[in-house]
Amino acid sequence: MQLTVARIGRAHGLRGEVALDLRTDVPQERLVVGAVLATAPATAGPLTIAHVRSLHDKWFLTFEEVTDRTGSEALRGVELLVESTASDEDDAWYPHELAGLRAEHVDGRTLGTIAGLEHLPAHDMLVLVEESGARTLIPFVRAIVPVVDVAGGRVVLDPPGGLLASDVANLVISDETSGPGEA
């Protein structure tokens, strides 16, 4: 299985350099001169890293196959891929490990299935397809996702009220209102 280590962003300069949107915690290991990376879409690559630099937590690359700004602009949105290896961290999972897991509430109810993981600026979000078919983004933080049991095929969620689409569907609006002066 291949994993995305970065998504190519905007062109930077005139000689084919591109900015990266990183998807790896170890770019210094994955993005090295001479590395040949597969791409998604596959027609954009493979790409061979010619030069790497980082500046203020931003990463920039040039590729042997791309030598000008026009070529680098054409790569915008292309994903750089590596072959997956098992994670050696206790609390780190690859998106393909999470997809398909059963989502359970802390009280034991089945909520739906995890469809994937989205990387947003603040933090990662689990994509939950609820039993109703609704697609809900769940912040992937320990307070809301206390258990990830890949071997057991499940994640346990402790969502705050109103986060799930099923919470909204179960709201009951009372018609018992009293206007001014009514008892």
Residue 83: is its pLDDT beyond 80? no
Average predicted confidence (pLDDT) for the chain: 83
Domains of the chain, residue spans: 2-83, 98-169
Residue 142: is its pLDDT beyond 70? yes
For range 69-87, the mean pLDDT: 83
Q: Are residues 36 and 48 in contact, defined by beta-carbon separation less than 8 angstroms?
A: yes
CATH 3.40.50.720 at 2-83, yes or no: no
Task: Give me the pLDDT at residue 47, please.
Answer: 93
Q: Which architecture, in CATH terms, is 98-169?
A: Roll (2.30)
Pairing of strands 58-63, 17-22: antiparallel
3-state secondary structure the chain: CEEEEEEEEEEECCCCEEEEEECCCCHHHHCCCCCEEEEECHHHCCEEEEEEEEECCEEEEEECCCCCHHHHHHCCCCEEEEECCCCCCCCCCCHHHHCCCEEEECCCCEEEEEEEEEECCCCEEEEEEECCCCEEEEECCCCCCCEEECCCCEEEECCCCCCCHHHHHCCCCCCCCCCCCCC
Task: Give me the pLDDT at residue 48, please.
Answer: 93
